[in-house]
Structures are given as C-alpha cells and as structure tokens.
Amino acid sequence: MSLQHDGRLPLRQVWPDALVERYRAAGYWRGETFPGFLRERARDCADDVALVAGESRYTYAELWRESGRIGAGLLALGLVPGDRVLVQLGNVAEFVLTVCGLFRAGLIPVYSLPAHRLTEIVHFARKSEASAYVTAERYEGFDYRTLARELRTEVTAIAHVVVAGAAEEFNALDALGGDEDSLPGDPDPQSVAFLQISGGSTGLSKLIPRTHDDYIYSFRASNEICGIDRDSVYLVALPVAHNFPASSPGWLGALYTGARVVLSPGPSTAQAFPLIEREGVTSVGLVPPLALLWADAAASTQYDLSSLQVMQVGGAKLLPEAARRLREKLDCQLQQVFGMAEGLVNYTRLDDPDDIVLETQGRPISADDEVLIVDDQGNPVPEGSAGHLLVRGPYTIRGYHNDDSANARSFTVDGFYRTGDMVQRLEGGYLVVQGRATDHINRAGEKISAEEIEDHLLAHPAVFDAAVVSIPDAYLGERSCAFVIARGERSRAVELKRWVRERGLAAFKVPDQVVFVDAFGTTAVGKVSRRELRARLRERFLDESDAVDRQETR
C-alpha cells in the first residue's frame, strides 16, 4: 500500500464495486456523514436535550457549538484533517463533545478505554500513527497526565496532548478555541470516520477502520430494531467508547434520531438507578453479570425504574437460565445482542416469542449480512449444526488497519470476516453462540487475549512457561487462569499478578488466578499447539480443581 504524502499509511475500508452499488441501491448507504447528521439535529432538535452527564446538560444546539469549538481548537493547535487523535476518556460529557468535535474537524478518533495503560496506549498510538492524545486529568482515581507524559516519551509523534480538567503543562480542553470557518466541509461518506479497537483474540488489539456510511447504517437500522426514537432516553452504563453502547444503537443511534443520551459514570446500580428515575431512561445496554445484578437490585430499590422499556444484554453469552431469571425479575423487555466491533450485530426482536428471546442471541441487522457457518475445513455445515461463524455485509469490515498478518488470518479470500465464534443457526436465521474457536477470555464482556498475557508472563525471570486459559465463573461468566511452570524457585502468585500490572496493562488483564504446575503434561508425541495445550490445561483444572496446587484467586 502506498503511503500518504506525510509518510503515513492511508486509512481505507474498501468493499468491491458491485457490493457498494448493492448497498447503495438497497438504501443502506445513503451518503450520510457524522458532521452532516449532527448539523441536521442541531437544526431540527436545537433545544432538545442531547446529552446529560452528572449535572451538565447540553441541547443539540449546544452540542453543535461545543463540538465546533473543540474541533476548531484542535485545528488551531496545528492538527490537520486526516490526523488521528487518540481519545481516552471515561463516561463524561467531554467524551461525546470531543468525538463530535473530531468528526467535525475531519480528525480521526482512535478509541481506547479508561482501563488501558501505557503498553496498550503506546500500541494504539504507534499503530494508528496518532498525532495527538485527548484525555482527562483523572478518572476513577488514576492520573492520566502521568500516562500522557510517559506516552510522549515513548511516542514522539504525539505532538499535542489535550486534557479535560486541570491540564498542567498540556492544553486544556476547556480553553481550546478557534475559527469555526477553519472546519472543513463534510467528508466523503465512504471514508474512514474513526478507528475502533478489536477485542484482541490473538495478541494485541487490532484497529478497526469504520466508515461514515457503514457505521451510520448500523445504528440507524439498530434504532428501528430496538425501538429508539426521538422520545427515547438512552443510558450509557458500559464504557462509552465500546462498540455496544456506542452503536447498538448506543449513544450514536440516540443522537442520530434526536433522542436523549444519559451517561452514567459507572455501571453500578447506585450510580445508574437515580439517573433512570431522574431522566426517565427508556433503554440501556448491559453485559450479563451486570444485568443479573441490576435485576436483583431492582426488586428492592427505592428508585422508580418504571420508565425503563428495554434492557439489552450482550457482549458475552447470556445463558438461558440467567435470561429466565432476568425475565422474571424485570418489568421491561429483554433483548439479546450479539455483536462485534468488526461489524455484524444480531438482535432478538422486540416482538419475538419468549423462547427466541431467552435461548438465542438474535439474528443479523441486515438482509444483506451474509452469514456462513463452516467446519474446520471451511465447508458449510448442515443447517442447524454448530460451526465457525463467517460474515460479510454492509457494515462488516474487510480488513484491519495496518496489519497484514491479522488480515491474512481473519478474512477469507472472498472477504468474509472469520469471527472466531462457534454458532448454530436456527430457523429464521437466529444464532445461538456455542463458544469460540480462538483463545481469548471473555471476562464479563472484556476480551483478553491469552497470547498477549502469556507473552508478558514469559518476560518474568522466574517463569519458564505460561499458558492462560478461561475458567467458567459464576459471576464473570469467565475468569482468567494462568498456568505457570517456574524457572528455579517459584515466585508467588501475587508477584506475577503485580508483574503483569506493572507491565502497563489494563487491570482486567491481570490473571484472576495463578496455578503453578511442574509440567504441562504434554504427551510423548511431543509437539502440541498452544491451543491444544490450553484446552488440556483447562480440562485438567476443571477435572481436578481440588487436587491442583491452587494459589489464591482474586
């Protein structure tokens, strides 16, 4: 791929011409853009409340004005349209204002989560060739200015740091300003609007380029399926940068239709329930463990939750029994959501019968989502059997940014994305997730790559070998367990956990459990793939969990 004039890799997401025509003709891709729809809402819904976070409230007109100020301010710093800007903010108004500002300035947001630490942030900055970093003074007790300093030492291409709150030596988000006439015209709808991050099933997270046309289609269609309209009040309880609360239908779907977005600083019932009562929240998206907690707490809460119409549950498998419990305890509709940042999203429909809502993970958004279910050799399985889920369609990417080897692994020559999930398809196209083929741990919706953590453990001088596996967990769904063969004297489990944390990784990636073993018990045949090894260790753990030399857990 040839480089841009500034030496960077261009951002591209390209579908074959015939499909582009088909997606346009079908009305999926309408040539809309992020700045375009925000402008329209600022005109049509000017005085309606668009965004609520803590005590701050912004109407659509104010969202337009503030995002213009931030966008123009970033250009005034010296950034130019097309530059990539790493954004690390929590569930605060500044996240939405900044991202909308970036869209309006033709700058490309690169999303990260507040939980990410130096190693991850450096990786995103390098991989995206970012020129700036926008973050907050602090969030949940962590000082991001320290992280910003470390990042700038490691990645000198980060020319600007902008901080919400006390900025110290950096640029204050509040003080940004510039001439709104400097903002560019609307972008090409087929151009890349932002970079989302992958769950990272192998190694480090990959960057996912999503276009205006494809992403807007996904949340516009999701609005229809999820009953979001101008009267809706959508609560963001999960991290706002994650694809689920962003676009399924998420805060972007809500803004697209002129509804109200309410940001909860965290997902606890103590934080969210008062907001549901105060703002009259109608929809929320949660991961399964939170949904179960909420349902329990709802039974005895003093808050009025009667406005809540739909609770969406996704990100990890909701077992049928858990779904039944939710159904019994909740006074609102349950909707299962099975999606991925790479594209495909499945929903149970609001008028689906009970057995579908309780026992399936829904069906795709689009009639043009081409779903293939294949065996290990890539041949279609008989209808109703489980197999690998492959997909292509009007909002599923055809390639990651700047990652040829991941692209060779993750996409077929026909452009199907290999999701890594094992599913079964029922009549009507409903999918039941059976598990997955790739080695990652889905810890309450947070995806952890086994390989990435093994790599960090192996860097420890007292570790000879390590294998990280997922273990079923009653609360989290899955937790991570690291099997470790010591080199010489065994170090303590806490020391290895600290090691991983101090390597600059998000806390959710620290193994929940460390188990020392003398050997991995590979057979005389010798060579075993790491996948097979992990599967065996997992089985062994589950069979003999009492006998295994188990070290402390959390």
314 touches ligand OOB (CB under 6 A): yes
The correct pick among 69, 127, 160, 436 for binding ligand OOB (CB under 6 A) is 436
Closer CB to ligand OOB, residue 421 or residue 452? Answer: 421
Q: Which stretch binds ligand OOB (CB under 6 A): 107-115, 133-141, 367-375, 439-447?
A: 439-447
In angstroms, give the least distance from the CB of 34 to ligand OOB. 18
Closer CB to ligand OOB, residue 193 or residue 337? Answer: 337
Q: Which stretch binds ligand OOB (CB under 6 A): 132-140, 269-277, 332-340, 376-384?
A: 332-340
Give CA–CA dist 73/76, Å, rounded.
Answer: 5
Q: Can you point out the beta strands (E) in 112-174?
A: 132-136, 138-139, 142-143, 160-164, 171-172
The correct pick among 164, 259, 345, 373 for binding ligand OOB (CB under 6 A) is 345
- The angle subtended at Cα 547 by Cα 544 and Cα 548, nearest 5°, is 85
Per-residue contact string for residues 214-253; x = within reach of ligand OOB by CB under 6 A: -----------------------------xx---x-----
In angstroms, give the least distance from the CB of 38 to ligand OOB. 22
Q: Which stretch binds ligand OOB (CB under 6 A): 169-177, 178-186, 263-271, 309-317?
A: 309-317
Per-residue tokens: 484: 């470790």
Residue for token pair 């970093």: 133
Please, which of residues 111-150 interact with ligand OOB by CB under 6 A? none
Count Cβ neighbours within 10 Å for each residue of 528-551 and write b for 16 or more, e otherwise: eeeeebbebbbebbeeeeeebebb
Q: Can you point out the beta strands (E) in 264-361?
A: 283-286, 310-314, 333-340, 343-347
Which residues lie below 8 Å from residue 437, measured CB to CB, with a gap of 6+?
A: 388, 420, 421, 422
DSSP string, 179-242: -GGGS--PPPTTSEEEEEE---SSSSPPEEEEEHHHHHHHHHHHHHHHT--TT-EEEE-S-TTS
447 touches ligand OOB (CB under 6 A): yes
Give CA–CA dist 302/365, Å, rounded.
Answer: 37
In angstroms, give the least distance from the CB of 384 to ligand OOB. 19
Per-residue contact string for residues 193-212; x = within reach of ligand OOB by CB under 6 A: ------x-------------
Nearest to 50 by CA among 240, 262, 195: 262
Per-residue tokens: 179: 């001439």
Closer CB to ligand OOB, residue 243 or residue 480? Answer: 243
Residue for token pair 């901080």: 163
Per-residue contact string for residues 354-393; x = within reach of ligand OOB by CB under 6 A: -------x--------------------------------
Closer CB to ligand OOB, residue 223 or residue 361? Answer: 361
340 touches ligand OOB (CB under 6 A): yes
Q: Which stretch binds ligand OOB (CB under 6 A): 136-144, 151-159, 311-319, 529-537?
A: 311-319
Q: Which stretch binds ligand OOB (CB under 6 A): 52-60, 79-87, 148-156, 312-320?
A: 312-320
CA distances 433 to 123, 218, 275, Å, are 31, 21, 33
Per-residue tokens: 105: 């300035």
In angstroms, give the least distance from the CB of 291 to ligand OOB. 11
Give CA–CA dist 90/243, Å, rounded.
Answer: 14
Nearest to 117 by CA among 135, 99, 132, 98: 135
Give CA–CA dist 250/223, Å, rounded.
Answer: 9
The correct pick among 341, 357, 467, 500 for binding ligand OOB (CB under 6 A) is 341
What is the side-by-side order of every strand in the sheet holding 477-486? 463-473, 477-486, 513-516
Q: What is the DSSP letter of 507?
A: G
Per-residue contact string for residues 271-290; x = within reach of ligand OOB by CB under 6 A: --------------------
Number of residues that bind ligand OOB (CB under 6 A): 24
The correct pick among 217, 338, 395, 416 for binding ligand OOB (CB under 6 A) is 338
Closest residue to ligand OOB using C-beta atoms: 339
Closer CB to ligand OOB, residue 350 or residue 517? Answer: 350
For β-strands 260-263 and 49-53, DSSP reports them as parallel
Q: Name the site residues for ligand OOB (rule: CB under 6 A).
A: 199, 243-244, 248, 314-317, 336-341, 345, 361, 419-421, 433, 436, 442, 445, 447
